[in-house]
Structure 1
């Protein structure tokens, strides 16, 4: 091959090398997810290189400890698997069992769980077998149901026993999640989505029934949700039944531009011919 061609190829390779490994990360992938932290009921396998007799599968007990041969109980709650393996290795060395132990750990079962309740398609308790954010655990719960309201609440018990409750706008979380709202779910978290408040259409409307209120509605807009008034319905004689602050149900005549309230019953009578 002519020397000129070799020189050109070598130059191209030299120019390309600085670019290796410097490609910009895709949006949303620049920050690594938090590794799993051990909690009670997690099941871990510890393996010691070239020492198969020390390989141990163990469950983290309620106090956050594991029992390992020759070193006894070791506090691992709050550590990652790698940190726990390093700690076991130090204890083996300090006990004079192995001079330079190489310990690795891997997860077999997970004790971390979180509950998802309310207006989701599959409410229940879910295992946190990987770093999981709010939108991800909602997906595991089958997504939000058609009757879901506009908010999502995260209830968390901190290490000192205090309970912290955070409420976010559900639509914003689902449409444009940010790390300020789309939090990582922790062990024993409770996620709750309330049902949207409803109003009721009754009488001469095309689709009577209960409908969720997700934004302010007037009587006219509420009737449109139910398919409008039938041919024999009276637009001028609409009535609303509403419970007052004392718990007493009152009934009054409604205008089309009146705002409705949660749990209103809108009744459309027949026209008087």
Structure 2
């Protein structure tokens, strides 16, 4: 069921990304260092150029030299360049068009347990689910929790989003909007361990509200010598020390628990 929900997350995100892309205009993007733009001027093919925005936020334009465009939208930059061409007496009416061919300044890093980790451009309003879709969705080892690290006005904040719970409840308004420089990190799914008289001893993924009985099933069930009488859990306390407690079949499993299935004496 959880795998199905994660597939739905990827599908919903891809759908919303497609809709958003269809309505996003270049004017939504602010130019920044590393962006590559292709500039054309109507009726003046000799002024066409493809240029990169420098670390100072400038681009080099024919006749004008360096023009400060950092922090401007493409429409604002078009208007500024056109105005400079007219003011310099180069053209009476300058109709400038800028097309971003490489968006390097507005990128979000998607890391952790996703299928295609990397840096992805944000060319308009985007949310966490959109970026997860670009990264191929949550991988098989990924958990429900996604961490979003944002830097706004010099302050770094950290938000945690339970994407499975959000989609399961249809509360997509809980999704966060992202911007260039943000980091999305998908946590690894929490694990516990089972040992003793089970078919497949070793680590297993902890599902929501998972019980000891379900953990035994995740371990392939009991061997012919196994019994659920006398089940024990080796569990770490808040101080990091480990203690062993008696376990019941309906007890909830916690992260890093070691469930010990004893051998039957009869």
Distance 1:179 1:98 in 2: 49
Shift of 1:191: 0.4
- Specify which of 29, 49, 52 is matched with residue 42 of structure 2: 49
Q: Deviations over 1:37-82 (max 9, x none)?
A: 3221010111111222222221111122212233333222232323
2:159 aligns with: 166
- Structure number with higher relative contact order (C-alpha < 8 Å, ≥ 6 residues apart): 2
3-state SS of 2:23 partner: coil
Shift of 1:165: 2.1
CA contact 1:233–1:271 (8 Å) conserved in 2: yes
How many residue pairs are counted as aligned between the two chains? Answer: 245
Q: Does 1:33 align with 2:24?
A: yes
After TM superposition, the score normalised by the length of structure 1 is: 0.79
CA contact 2:103–2:123 (8 Å) conserved in 1: yes
Largest Rg, 1 or 2: 1
Q: How well do the aligned residues superpose, as a CA RMSD in angstroms?
A: 2.5
- Specify which of 211, 223, 231 is matched with residue 218 of structure 1: 211
Q: Deviations over 1:215-250 (max 9, x none)?
A: 123322322333332231021121211122222222
Shift of 1:132: 4.3
2:133 aligns with: 139
2:229 aligns with: 236
**Structure with the largest fraction of helix:** 2
1:201 aligns with: 194
Is 125-134 or 163-172 further displaced after alignment? 125-134
Q: Deviations over 1:83-132 (max 9, x none)?
A: 21121101111222211111111122221322111121222223446664
For structure 1, the 5+ residue unaligned runs are 1-26
3-state SS of 2:158 partner: strand
After TM superposition, the score normalised by the length of structure 2 is: 0.81
2:10 aligns with: none
3-state SS of 2:84 partner: helix
**Structure with the largest fraction of strand:** 2
3-state SS of 1:86 partner: helix
